[in-house]
Chains A and B, each alone.
Chain A
């Protein structure tokens, strides 16, 4: 499947966006988020961006106060996932203009729409920022 979940977490470990591509119960999700946030947030800048957790890998990248955590299957190309995170950030940047934690909090649904245009069922579907943003901008114009 490739991507299993995309998580955005702030420095304090609070979840800011969570999208799962496999079904987990509420309890499982809370436990998982707690575990991997604890694992990833304690790592230093110099350490690599990959953490093995249970039977999959978490690829993470930090942008200012926000951590982007992506859980992927073991055979997924980790470097490509880093590239994907960056693409997601750039896309949000283009839309919000210097995206920050609050933008995502207050426009949670928009962040989700962008992600939805980029990833379906755990597979990357679109890599062009303007293609990703086209339907969202169309909506904004209509509103």
Chain B
């Protein structure tokens, strides 16, 4: 005899497992057992199959893989005896699932057993089918189950009814076959059959409208009678629970009545009396009675009940709510939530009690109560409720603070009558739970603050005070640091003091102290530190006397290991040190953040600014699609992502970004652009950009650089912005822009170079660049400069010998659509270090379907050949069926070295 095949007894295995002291020991025992079971299986051991499967079930329960036992289940099911079948079916239900192919094999055994003469075997098969039936099996075996529904034996009937539930869930089309048999089940006396039949009817109502109508017509009176019988029945020992006969049947039939009475006045009318009787007569001193009352209230709330009945139901809930048993209070809160839709006034009456539940020691009750309170808030009670909740926030558990703070914030946001109140409440929340609120909350707060100029002084002073006590609350610190940076001067001069406010005297150095503490205390929080650096930069201009101290702090951060911080401190330091003349304009107060854009973005819709709409009005390709050929279709919303708020649509910017292109394209393209404004200014531009993107150092920002400084100049000198255009759009392809990057080939990465500060380079001009000039290469690959669904442009390059800076481009345009294009016009614009000469096109008609192409040659002279790569914006205008069409894009995939 094989030493493995006999194995240990089940009992011994369980003992061995229980004796294990560590998980590793347990694993070892299980592994050994599994090995012997496998051996037994492979030997086709008949005697111990039963025992092995029992062992496998235990091992399965412990959470070990047991798939190898699945075939054993099938063999046991196929056996003739009841004990084998029984354990086989149990194993099948536990070890298998409907996803596995093994199920295919079991269908036949099931069919045989469903037709077996022994009622217990039929019961086993029904039970298994009810638990594991798949859609295919449902199709195959539905007729058997339908037949069994009509058999006299109640034990088979009830199981067949539940099996039918599974079948109609898997194949809802079969629902109507079961309507008739289901309705007749309700006429039975056996409780098991009734419960199963009622559940089948309830499920049929959910599965098919036709069945719902049929059952409403035929079963409303029957279900009322069942409820009447069971609630008035004499003592029945077998079904009695605490003096109530079969609470399960009560609950199931109430649930069916809920389905039948919903939105049906006649059926509801018919139920009124019995519901009133159950609601008044059921004992509420035991759990079973309360379970029935609870279900009864739910049914009353769900159907078209009379107002008297509803009052009764609300009163039961009121009683529940004041019950000392937490379970009862929990279900009361749960139910009140549904009752709000029916009668919110009645629920409002219990507000005080519900508010007490928010402060309960039980987390489940607190959570329910908080959700309920949230639904109860309206304009009239909002102030007092918020006050209560905020007071509780102070003392609540740490793990509840997040939920509570989130709810308070949304209440405050939703109902705030005025900005002052909003800011006050938010400051309170942030001071208490600043570490628990989501980023959107403080982002939104900053937007609101920015939009309330009359409160700037008050807010910054309040924040300053709050920081003294709650400097650990991250979000509070961020908002405070932002406001101090923006409105720090109001802190000193006490600008805009409100009536209720106590004035404080703050010295400039105190303000710097606070920001420095924020910078140092939150050492692991890059966002807060980055925001602190920006605030310091701004303060250096607001408080010139502290400039030196700020510079010292900046210098300390120069060595930061976080690239973002290192870069900021180096850049800012250089602004403070060398560029006093532009500093004040660079650190000007942020323009008012646009609330609607922010809300839009928050709502998840794409932030379409006015400017971008203007630009996209005729573009055929969708917004912000970056085509693979490197053309950055510049229809993407030219948004500055500031604080990740997207509220950057400063009114002035709109006009500039929108008209920008027109200015550009409107000018004589062949004329070299004039020398433009000082480079330093455009350097400053992007630094401001950087300031704006404060909150999100690691998030790629879709940036088109609009800014205050350039704006003023744009109006008079649009040409000068040409280089910025290329700059910004390149920047959008290299998400975390470095100024340096934008001017180089995008593939060139900035090396953190302690010797040469990149910003200084930029601010001082474009000359010092470590990119080595490349010697002219004889041939350049042609590129696909632009491709949309309707149009393709390819560029071929050639160089004249001896003139490395001149590139001649042969542009070929192909029409991919099925319509001819007329009045075809190609225009291009280049940064100012490049000169562009456009020859006339070969034709202004572009035939459809790529039959024939238009060519045009361009000559580009790169005055900074070897230092800067070519870049070009282009615009295509043409008519399709006499309709004007415009496409535009940026070409940034020029081969290097041109």
Partner of A48 from B191, B238, B364 at Cβ < 8 Å: B364
Do A143 and B83 contact each other (CB < 8 Å), given the known contacts A33-B63, A78-B327?
yes
User: Are B327 and A79 within 8 A (Cβ)?
Assistant: yes
User: Are B57 and A109 within 8 A (Cβ)?
Assistant: yes
Q: How far is the CA of A94 from the CA of B516 in the complex (A)?
A: 72
Render B150-171 as a binary contact track against A, CB cut-off 8 A, 1 for contact.
Answer: 0000010011001101100100
In whole Å, how far is B402's beta carbon from the nearest beta carbon of chain A?
15
Partner of B94 from A47, A48, A112, A131 at Cβ < 8 Å: A112
User: Are B326 and A46 within 8 A (Cβ)?
Assistant: yes
User: Are B287 and A121 within 8 A (Cβ)?
Assistant: no
In whole Å, how far is A87's beta carbon from the nearest beta carbon of chain B?
8
User: Are B97 and A127 within 8 A (Cβ)?
Assistant: no
Q: How far is the CA of A74 from the CA of B122 in the complex (A)?
A: 33
A-contacting residues, B344-380, CB 8 Å = 361-365, 367
Partner of B195 from A1, A15, A116, A127 at Cβ < 8 Å: A127
User: Are B131 and A84 within 8 A (Cβ)?
Assistant: no
Total of A-B residue pairs, C-beta within 8 Å: 155
Do A77 and B291 contact each other (CB < 8 Å), given the known contacts A15-B62, A123-B162?
yes
User: Are A106 and B11 within 8 A (Cβ)?
Assistant: yes
Q: How far is the CA of A50 from the CA of B326 in the complex (A)?
A: 9
Chain B contacts for A29, CB-based, 8 A: 63
Interface size of B in residues (CB-CB distance below 8 Å): 70
Do A48 and B287 contact each other (CB < 8 Å), given the known contacts A123-B165, A129-B238?
no
Do A80 and B162 contact each other (CB < 8 Å), given the known contacts A48-B326, A109-B54?
no
User: Are A139 and B86 within 8 A (Cβ)?
Assistant: yes
User: Are B330 and A50 within 8 A (Cβ)?
Assistant: yes
Q: Chain A: which residue is nearest B327 at the CB level?
A: A48
Is A89 in contact with chain B by the CB < 8 A criterion?
no
Q: How far is the CA of A125 from the CA of B294 in the complex (A)?
A: 21
User: Are A125 and B192 within 8 A (Cβ)?
Assistant: yes
User: Are B11 and A123 within 8 A (Cβ)?
Assistant: no
Is A108 in contact with chain B by the CB < 8 A criterion?
yes
Is B199 in contact with chain A by the CB < 8 A criterion?
yes
Q: How far is the CA of A109 from the CA of B247 in the complex (A)?
A: 28
Chain A contacts for B82, CB-based, 8 A: 139, 142
Is B803 in contact with chain A by the CB < 8 A criterion?
no
Q: How far is the CA of A51 from the CA of B158 in the complex (A)?
A: 31
Is A36 in contact with chain B by the CB < 8 A criterion?
no
Q: How far is the CA of A79 from the CA of B332 in the complex (A)?
A: 11
Q: How far is the CA of A52 from the CA of B330 in the complex (A)?
A: 11
User: Are B11 and A125 within 8 A (Cβ)?
Assistant: no
Partner of A50 from B251, B288, B364 at Cβ < 8 Å: B364
Is B130 in contact with chain A by the CB < 8 A criterion?
yes
Chain B contacts for A33, CB-based, 8 A: 63
A-contacting residues, B125-145, CB 8 Å = 127, 130-131
User: Are B330 and A139 within 8 A (Cβ)?
Assistant: no
User: Are B362 and A120 within 8 A (Cβ)?
Assistant: no
Q: How far is the CA of A135 from the CA of B247 in the complex (A)?
A: 24
Chain B contacts for A50, CB-based, 8 A: 327, 330, 364
In whole Å, how far is A63's beta carbon from the nearest beta carbon of chain B?
15
Q: Among the interface residues A23, A109, A139, A143, which one has the most CB atoms of the partner chain B within 10 A?
A: A109
Is B61 in contact with chain A by the CB < 8 A criterion?
yes
Q: How far is the CA of A79 from the CA of B246 in the complex (A)?
A: 14
Do A52 and B131 contact each other (CB < 8 Å), given the known contacts A77-B251, A124-B248, A127-B195?
no
Render A100-117 as a binary contact track against B, CB cut-off 8 A, 1 for contact.
Answer: 000001101100110010
Is B120 in contact with chain A by the CB < 8 A criterion?
yes
User: Are A120 and B247 within 8 A (Cβ)?
Assistant: no
In whole Å, how far is A34's beta carbon from the nearest beta carbon of chain B?
10
Is B90 in contact with chain A by the CB < 8 A criterion?
yes
Q: How far is the CA of A15 from the CA of B238 in the complex (A)?
A: 31
Is B791 in contact with chain A by the CB < 8 A criterion?
no
Partner of B98 from A23, A124, A131, A135 at Cβ < 8 Å: A23
User: Are A125 and B287 within 8 A (Cβ)?
Assistant: no
**Sample of 19 more A-B contacts, CB < 8 Å, known A33-B63, A80-B291, A112-B90:** A26-B64, A47-B362, A49-B327, A50-B364, A79-B287, A83-B241, A106-B11, A108-B61, A116-B90, A120-B130, A120-B159, A121-B130, A121-B162, A121-B163, A123-B162, A124-B248, A127-B195, A131-B238, A142-B83
Selected A-B contacts with CB under 8 Å, 13 pairs:
A47-B326, A47-B362, A49-B326, A77-B291, A78-B327, A79-B287, A79-B328, A105-B18, A108-B54, A108-B57, A120-B159, A125-B192, A129-B238
Name B residues whose Cβ lies closer than 8 Å to a Cβ of A.
10-11, 14, 18, 54, 57-58, 61-65, 82-83, 86-87, 90, 93-94, 97-99, 120, 123, 127, 130-131, 155, 158-159, 162-163, 165-166, 169, 191-192, 195-196, 199, 238-239, 241, 246-249, 251-252, 255, 287-288, 290-291, 294-295, 298, 326-331, 334, 361-365, 367
